[in-house]
Structure 1
Amino acid sequence: MSAFRWVALTSLAIGLLPAGGCAFFPVSGPSSASINAQSSPTSPYGLVPLTPETIDVIAAFEPKGLAGTFTDRRPSSNIKFGVGDIVSVTVFEAAAGGLYIPLEAGVRPGNYVALPDQVVDNDGNITVPYAGAIRAAGRTNVQIQNDIIARIKNRAIEPQVVVALSQQRTSLISIIGEVNTPLRFAMPAAGAGDRILDAITRAGGIKGQGYETWVMLERDHRRATVPFENLVMNASNNIFVQPGDRIYVYREQQKFLAFGATGNQGEFPFDAWRINLAEAVAKAAGLVDQQADATSIYLYRREPREVARRLGIDVNNIHDELVPVIFTVNLRDPGGYFLATRLQVRNQDILFVANAQSYEIDKFLSFVNHVAVTAHSIESPIAGASITRADVAGHAVVAP
């Protein structure tokens, strides 16, 4: 093929490209130039270079788990009775012949009478003879005892009263989900101080692996969730249980997505309760040497508006509470790997590695070469006929 003809065919190949230029070729995602220009027509986002200061901001606003939601770190106070609890009342007098102890009972040691157990009624009361209705719901045993004594002290002989919880039906703690023995158990007495891990142990422990297990605590109409291994590694999240707590244990493997010029693309499980960006790149089989632009490593996620502001993003045109953010790190910089080890990847983050510009040029040259080779092959005589340049342009003209 003559040089003139090769140049003509190359010009023809270029002419066949649409106005979009490189958009004519298949790609695995946006170019680094498009991302850096923040030119998305569909979803505005903030672009944040990864720096030590950036990482410090992100770390300061990491979810605090149970400790951040439930700030009372004290063990539970004395148990308060509730509607449905079964209560026992025992009344002592200093001598026989008083209000409760008849004279003929004086020889009996103790001088006491045990009232039949009774349920705290729907109004929150129990009934004590000669004392009437006594408020029990929301009160401790000491408060109930003092109330009974105050009502009978002028009629009984130096009365003393003992109130005990015979059967606890409120102030229970529920543990359900991926534990070996789901159960409800009574709140331990004051000072016992069961924590979240103690409660899970009562339920026979978790069924699955710690890194794929999550613990959700519901208390007073508030909820917080934490990875199980965080409970083990971070003592501040292993808080005391309180009456009425509901603990739900479930399994959910954390995953991230990888696209672009990585060795493998797709969905990757953490297989740990947390991994950093460098580990995520390694899980995706690293960067493809002939394709990847090591200066253009991107991590997609959404951050709360306050975090976005702290990162220097203009959020005035973004109306969602969670702001789309793309973090970028340069792995051609030797220090970039240290930064990547400090940024924690979150569940459903997206890792994208852009193609190098030279790789796009290679694709174009390969296309031109393919057009030239094809044109050369169809130019050869076929069945006594030759195909003219008009065929290349799409016109079926056969010369005799």
Structure 2
Amino acid sequence: MRKIGAILVCLVLAACARPSDGPSPSSFYNAKDPATGKNIPVVRLTQASLPVGSNAPLAYNPADPGLSIFRSGGSGDVRLRRGDVIEVTIFDTGEEGLFSSANSKTLPLGRFTVDASGNVNLPFVGKQRVLDSSPEALQSRIVGGLKGSAVNPQAVVTVVDRPGNAVTVGGSVRSPGRFPLSARKEKVSDAIAMAGGALSAPASATVTLMRGSRKATAPLSRVLNEERQNVYLLPDDQLFIQDAAPSFTVMGAFKSTGEFKFEPGQLTLAQAIGRAGGLLDDRADASQIYLLRNQTTYTTVHSGAGKALTSTTMVSNKPVIYRADMKDISNLALMQQFQMANGDILYAGNSGLVDFAKLFNVYQKSPNLPAAAPPVAPGN
């Protein structure tokens, strides 16, 4: 009798702390938001509305100015800088001009580099201060220096190389380096193209533009889609492309668990489960599939008259748990529309029979209880 009582006590104690790989279904419904202390809502997939299809929240705050803080007219600055290489040609239209000959009235003086002091040393006219001067201004000074020596001198100054007029592109691109700017006024997308393009898909890459002490970041997809983000570049700008592919984490009774990267807007809940190899047939409860999300929403504030104030956006973060029942055909259809978001946790719970089987296995492996002493014969 004492043996049976000891066994019952062990079973009761084991049932109070039965082995499990994770939270039970009831724990999801009792989960509380650490910020507010309120229960985190558990939304069945058939009742979900915001994250389904095109209503999925944006990956960035639309009120964030991004790269638009660097709005400029582009690299149209023709002023000469240190390191610029210029080519000078002189013409003399007079019959008896200093540079006239039987064959030509043109004299190429050659190529000259603006030195560290901002000067160039030219034949016939000597040293000239050219820093921050335009080629046209230098042409006039050359002509003025030749008057008295030539009958009707003319000069042409052409900038052939501007090594200082360049931008640096680094990070997750095929050919990082320093690239010259031209009179075409290159934009951010042009510089990325000159670097061979980004190694990541636009939705999975971010662009950081550094200009002096200022810095701003925007998703590459936003730069390509919004004209105000694709700003003109200026000399010495620095662009850094970073692979920022979002990811989701798989836990519980899936065939493959861990972290998986994906492209935003290109992965549904059904595809995510497929990427994890599906459920474990001998463990998972197909009706207990949970997706945990820290949902960020960007809401445009409206005025009293009902007009949208596009410059005012309210950002809110709210944890939410979605439950999918793969035994329900309608859930399978919705899983093909439900878009995954960065940071999602996908969890599959165990079948109740699995936990009881573990409990029975633990009991079998427990040490044997001491056997009761045999009864003593009378008279011994």
Match of 1:352 among 337, 346, 352: 346
Closer/same/farther in 2, CA of residues 355 and 185 from structure 1, 3 Å limit: closer
Structure 2, gaps ≥5 residues long = 301-312
Deviation readout 1:325-364 (Å, 9 max, x if unpaired): 6442232373685377353433xx34232526xx457624
Deviation readout 1:243-286 (Å, 9 max, x if unpaired): 44555667787653211233321233549995333322221123
Closer/same/farther in 2, CA of residues 107 and 93 from structure 1, 3 Å limit: closer
- After superposition, residues 103-252 of structure 1 pair within 5 angstroms as 105-107=99-101, 111=105, 114-115=108-109, 117-126=111-120, 133-137=128-132, 141-142=135-136, 145=139, 148=141, 160-175=154-169, 183-190=177-184, 195-196=190-191, 198-201=193-196, 216=207, 218-221=209-212, 222=215, 224=217, 243-246=235-238
Matched residue SS, 1:292: strand
Closer/same/farther in 2, CA of residues 374 and 283 from structure 1, 3 Å limit: closer
Aligned to 2:308: none
When you count strand as a share of all residues, which structure comes out higher? 2
Matched residue SS, 1:275: coil
One-letter amino acid of the structure 2 residue matched with residue 329 of structure 1:
Y
When you count helix as a share of all residues, which structure comes out higher? 1
Separation (CA, whole Å) in 2 of partners of 1:294 and 1:159: 91
Matched residue SS, 1:136: coil
Match of 2:260 among 262, 265, 268: 268
One-letter amino acid of the structure 2 residue matched with residue 164 of structure 1:
T
Closer/same/farther in 2, CA of residues 163 and 327 from structure 1, 3 Å limit: farther
Match of 2:248 among 249, 252, 256: 256
Deviation readout 1:32-74 (Å, 9 max, x if unpaired): 544444447799899575843456775334378xx95257597
- After superposition, residues 18-167 of structure 1 pair within 5 angstroms as 21=16, 24-39=17-32, 47=40, 51-53=48-50, 59-62=57-60, 68-69=66-67, 76-77=75-76, 80-92=79-91, 95=94, 102=98, 105-107=99-101, 111=105, 114-115=108-109, 117-126=111-120, 133-137=128-132, 141-142=135-136, 145=139, 148=141, 160-167=154-161
Q: Tell me if structure 1 keeps the 8 A contact 2:293–2:345.
A: yes
Deviation readout 1:82-114 (Å, 9 max, x if unpaired): 3212223345455478xxx53xx4456775554
Query: Equivalent pairs: percent with the same residue?
Result: 17
Q: Tell me if structure 1 keeps the 8 A contact 2:143–2:153.
A: no
Aligned to 1:383: none
Alpha-carbon deviation of 1:165? 1.7
Scaled by the length of structure 1, the TM-score of the pair is 0.59
Deviation readout 1:159-182 (Å, 9 max, x if unpaired): 654221233321234455676665
Separation (CA, whole Å) in 1 of partners of 2:38 and 2:147: 77
Q: Tell me if structure 2 keeps the 8 A contact 1:196–1:238.
A: no
- After superposition, residues 375-390 of structure 1 pair within 5 angstroms as 387-388=371-372
Closer/same/farther in 2, CA of residues 198 and 364 from structure 1, 3 Å limit: closer
Separation (CA, whole Å) in 2 of partners of 1:253 and 1:84: 40
Matched residue SS, 2:159: strand
The answer to whether the aligner puts 1:341 opposite 2:318 as a matched pair is no
Separation (CA, whole Å) in 2 of partners of 1:250 and 1:184: 17
One-letter amino acid of the structure 2 residue matched with residue 69 of structure 1:
L
Matched residue SS, 2:82: coil
Q: Tell me if structure 2 keeps the 8 A contact 1:197–1:238.
A: no
Separation (CA, whole Å) in 2 of partners of 1:81 and 1:288: 69
Deviation readout 1:201-236 (Å, 9 max, x if unpaired): 4xxx78x78699957554415364757xx5999696
